[in-house]
């Protein structure tokens, strides 16, 4: 994550560095992104960059973290008008919201898609490892709400279930990108419905 010197910068300058970095990673991906291009466009010295971030990976993790936080806030706002929905309806709407978020934030979406396609498993482990707790906490809140509404079995281990759903959702996202390659929203939602059916009913033979 950024050093304190970065957060001590004027907001306009911080945002400029962030937006230029998002552009760079969206166009070139993590591996081919260039700190030299970023500092040139941001009109800062290369030495100054290393006063703000440890290295390119540190900057990339910050960009991903900003995107993840923005997406969570988008979901929280989305949920404000969905208080009557049960847990599974809400999860479906969140997936739909994820599609809309990607349309409204194409550069962040591109960075996420490229990242999930990456073969750098160590980078994935580091980046996802820092964002999984945030997702777990968000889903824990949904599960607790679902229990209170009678949608979810109160005997479940909430923390474990939240973690399972987080990793399941991430795996489904990676599956969409690597295997399915669908572009039509209706096709995507058909796959989401299949996933939610497994979550709701399990894989035991009916």
Give residue for tokens 């949920």.
79
| Domain containing residue 177 | 57-201
On whether residue 158 sits in a domain, the answer given is: yes
Averaged pLDDT, 7-17: 96
User: What is the radius of gyration, based on Cα positions, of the chain?
Assistant: 19
Q: Is residue 23 domain-resident?
A: no
What is the Cα–Cα distance from 44 to 93, expressed in whole angstroms? 42
Whether 26 is in a domain gets the answer no
Q: What is the pLDDT of residue 109?
A: 87
pTM: 0.81
Q: Which two tokens stand for residue 148?
A: 């209170």
What is the reported pLDDT for 183? 57
pLDDT of residue 130: 75
Counted domains in the chain: 1
Give domain status of residue 111, yes or no.
Answer: yes
CATH of the domain at 187: 1.10.357.10
């Amino acid at each position: 994550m950024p050093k304190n010197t970065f957060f001590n910068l004027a907001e306009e300058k911080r945002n400029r560095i962030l937006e230029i970095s998002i552009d760079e990673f969206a166009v070139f991906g993590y591996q081919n992104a260039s700190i030299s291009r970023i500092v040139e466009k941001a009109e800062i010295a290369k030495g100054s960059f290393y006063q703000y971030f440890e290295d390119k990976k540190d900057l990339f993790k910050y960009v991903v973290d900003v995107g993840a936080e923005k997406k969570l806030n988008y979901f929280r706002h989305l949920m404000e008008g969905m208080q009557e929905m049960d847990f599974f309806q809400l999860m479906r709407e969140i997936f739909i919201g994820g599609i809309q978020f990607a349309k409204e934030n194409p550069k962040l979406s591109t960075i996420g898609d490229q990242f999930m396609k990456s073969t750098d498993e160590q980078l994935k482990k580091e980046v996802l490892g820092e964002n999984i707790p945030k997702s777990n906490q968000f889903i824990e809140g949904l599960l607790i709400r679902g229990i209170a509404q009678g949608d979810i079995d109160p005997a479940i281990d909430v923390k474990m279930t939240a973690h399972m759903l987080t990793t399941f959702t991430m795996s489904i996202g990676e599956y969409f990108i690597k295997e399915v390659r669908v572009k039509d929203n209706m096709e995507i939602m058909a796959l989401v419905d299949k996933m939610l059916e497994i979550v709701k009913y399990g894989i035991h033979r009916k």
